[in-house]
Amino acid sequence: LLKLKQQEMEKTLVFFNNIPTLVDAYTYVREAIGQSVGDPNPLISMYMSITSSERKAAVMEDLNNPKGSSRVVFCTSSLAVGVNMRDVKYVIHDGSPRLVQDFLQETGRVARESSAHGHSILVRFPRMNAKGLSDTMKAYVKGEECRRLTILKVFGSKSTQTKEPSCCDICNPNITYSFKSVVDAYYTDQAADDQLSDSSSGSEPSIGGIEYNDTDSD
């Protein structure tokens, strides 16, 4: 999407559970879009605990600037607490956070304005490490019951949308999410696939293991 949209790409935060994976993903995408190291106007940035305070401040300033260059930030949970950013459209979780509180903190970075609409996407994949996950997050990922209910029970709350057609993919297996069409378009658009087709693996990642979870702020 970055290759196609460039500066028109919606602001996106991608959360990782470990730094090595974050750095690998950042390096891969940076090279794929042709961004040089030290680019003064980067499309993608990194934000983690070991990032210098000066660089953290620069990333935050850029994110909060409507005309800022950074469109995607690869980050850890250090960007999820006490940070209020405008215009974030997508939050993507590379694997499940350990606690539901962490999941909600990260998800809460999207659609912060009262009229905004955004997406929180939990990417699950084969051999995803479930070690250390709370029972609630394991149940959420497995989809054992209504996803809203699974999360809200932790806080002693209930959802008025449970079992409604618009609630979640458990309450309505036929539910569709607009972001899925965006992902599908990415993997079928030849212009975006040119770089991927030259990769040594000769294969593209599957979108079959993605959970689509709309987050609409009230």
Burial state string for 31-69 with b = 16 or more CB within 10 A and e = fewer than 16: eebebeeeeeebbbbbbbeebeeeebebbbebbeeeebe
Which residue type is seen at 90? Y
In the predicted model, residues of the chain with pLDDT beneath 70 are: 82-83, 125-130, 177-218
pLDDT for 211 = 42
Query: At CA 118, angle to CA 8 and CA 14, rounded to 5?
Result: 70
Q: Determine how many CB atoms are found less than 10 A away from the CB of residue 18.
A: 13
Q: Phi/psi zone of residue 132: left (φ > 0), alpha (ψ -120 to 50 degrees), beta?
A: left
**How far is residue 92's CA from residue 107's CA, in Å, rounded to a whole number?**
8
pLDDT for 204 = 37
Contact yes or no for 137/211 (Cβ under 8 A): no
- What would the pLDDT profile of 154-207 be if each residue is shown by its tens digit? 888 877 777 788 788 888 888 776 666 555 554 454 444 444 454 444 433 333
Query: Which helix (H) or strand (E) segment is 193 a member of?
Result: helix 190-197
